[in-house]
Amino acid sequence: MSRLKSKLPGSGTTIFTVMSQMALEHGAINLSQGFPDFDGPALLRERVSYHLEHGHNQYAPMPGLPELKNQIALKISALYGRDVDPIDEITVTPGATEAIFCAVSVVVQPGDEVIVFDPSYDTYAPSVILNGGVTRHIPMVYPDFRIDWGRVKDTINPRTRLIILNTPHNPSATIWRQEDIDALRELVTGTGIYLLSDEVYEHIVFDGQPHLSLLRFPELAERTFAVYSFGKTYHATGWRIGYCVAPRSLMAEFVRIHQFINFSTNTPMQYALADYMRDGSAHHLELGAFYQQKRDLFVQLMAESRFRLNKAAGTFFQLADYSEISDEADVEFAGRMTREHKVAVIPVSVFYEQPPKQRVIRFCFAKGDDTLRQAAERLVAL
Ligand code: GLN
């Protein structure tokens, strides 16, 4: 037998799995991998049980349940003012991760270049590499994490096929401003560059700021795959369900790939989400305030610590600079925090191709208030 040659030789196990496992081994409070430690709306869960018990246990339609896609289209129209055809411009996927992979597969041919902004979520680059593409990483730096648009302009060349962007941004917890949208529009207008907009934290934006979905801007939306997550919105990351929105011609190719990867997405959850959304729940509209309260609690509890925090603008993550506590590299520091201080966190350097000199870790504050208090108590003692 010939020796197996890895297609992802540069990738180990994802940091989320590594840290959650370490948290479990050491009995640490797990503020690493991003997931809530509470359940979503009871009514939504009740609808899942209902459909499990009422014969909705076989394959859903391949591109998604029409009832759910209708609800998604209504929501997009209400929130972002874009009329999307639920039949041809929306696909429900088993998690946003699959949607990201399919979207990359649609546009990236071997040798094509894809721009990603570091710190970048850890599925972007592997999705590009598995499709034979080449990633061009543009760093954003603590504490502002602003995009250097001059640098983006210098990086764009005839091989540039795709730009992957993410707002609200994981792990930096920053959000895009109108000037970012304007700069992007100027750079891509008149080019053949596509956009993949990871907007899974669309509802988790704080301090009265708007979420600048690319779907709001017709000149950008016409070249965009926008990706969303029910797991984030309904506190159900384990359900693995999200969706992609893209113009008809792009979605046709997306579906061609999706059908051969997962075929379809689980059925009872799709029925349940359709019911729940149809009944006019305001859950998603209240999510920002819900998480803002948790951010504020965590930031306030941490004020007595030697960590330095700039308040998150969105997502359920909070970054912290630990340079007053230690000069260890963040991977070591995160490991030691987990083993010795029993709070697991995510080191931020792993999301960079070339990690800058910064000592920053990421906390997930999607936890019960008591868990946050207990964690903060340990962190204040450092
Ligand atoms: N999105 C989650 C995070 O950033 C992790 C998802 C995963 O573990 N694959 O923490």
Contact (Cβ atoms closer than 8 angstroms) between residue 337 and residue 360: no
pLDDT exceeds 80 at position 1: no
Contact (Cβ atoms closer than 8 angstroms) between residue 118 and residue 141: no
Residue 335's pLDDT band, with cuts at 50, 70 and 90, is: very high
Mean pLDDT computed over every residue of the chain: 97
Residue 281's pLDDT band, with cuts at 50, 70 and 90, is: confident
The pLDDT score that the predictor gives to residue 222 is 98
The pLDDT score that the predictor gives to residue 189 is 97
The pLDDT score that the predictor gives to residue 95 is 97
- Give mean pLDDT, residues 299-315: 98
Tens of pLDDT along 243-258? 999 999 999 999 999 9
The pLDDT score that the predictor gives to residue 211 is 98
Atom 1 in ligand 1: residue holding the nearest Cα? 34
pLDDT exceeds 80 at position 271: yes
Task: Tell me the CA–centroid distance for residue 2 and ligand 1, in Å.
Answer: 35
Atom 7 in ligand 1: residue holding the nearest Cα? 16
Which of 16, 172, 361 has the most ligand 1 atoms within 8 A of CB, as the residue to mutate? 16
- Kindly state the percentage of the chain with pLDDT values over 90: 98
Atom 3 in ligand 1: residue holding the nearest Cα? 34
Which atom from ligand 1 is nearest to the alpha carbon of 32?
10
Which atom from ligand 1 is nearest to the alpha carbon of 200?
1
Atom 4 in ligand 1: residue holding the nearest Cα? 34
Please give the biggest Cα pair distance in the chain. 60
Tens of pLDDT along 104-148? 999 999 999 999 999 999 999 999 999 999 999 999 999 999 999
The pLDDT score that the predictor gives to residue 2 is 79
The pLDDT score that the predictor gives to residue 134 is 98
Residue 218's pLDDT band, with cuts at 50, 70 and 90, is: very high
Q: How far apart are the first and last CA of the chain?
A: 53
Task: Tell me the CA–centroid distance for residue 34 and ligand 1, in Å.
Answer: 5
- Is 33's C-beta closer than 6 angstroms to any atom of ligand 1? yes
- Is 16's C-beta closer than 6 angstroms to any atom of ligand 1? yes
Contact (Cβ atoms closer than 8 angstroms) between residue 320 and residue 337: no
Tens of pLDDT along 222-240? 999 999 999 999 999 999 9
Identity of the residue numbered 153: K
Tokens 């903060």 correspond to what residue? Answer: 376
Contact (Cβ atoms closer than 8 angstroms) between residue 199 and residue 80: no
Tens of pLDDT along 38-61? 999 999 999 999 999 999 999 999
Residue 176's pLDDT band, with cuts at 50, 70 and 90, is: very high
Alpha helices in the chain (DSSP H): 15-25, 42-53, 66-80, 96-107, 124-130, 149-155, 178-188, 218-221, 230-233, 248-261, 267-278, 283-302, 330-340, 369-380
Which atom from ligand 1 is nearest to the alpha carbon of 121?
4
Query: Does the CA dihedral 239-244-248-249 come out positive or negative?
Result: negative
Tens of pLDDT along 177-214? 999 999 999 999 999 999 999 999 999 999 999 999 99
How far apart, in whole angstroms, are the C-alpha atoms of residue 119 and residue 183?
Answer: 20
- Is 120's C-beta closer than 6 angstroms to any atom of ligand 1? no
- Is 168's C-beta closer than 6 angstroms to any atom of ligand 1? no
Residue 102's pLDDT band, with cuts at 50, 70 and 90, is: very high
- Is 34's C-beta closer than 6 angstroms to any atom of ligand 1? yes
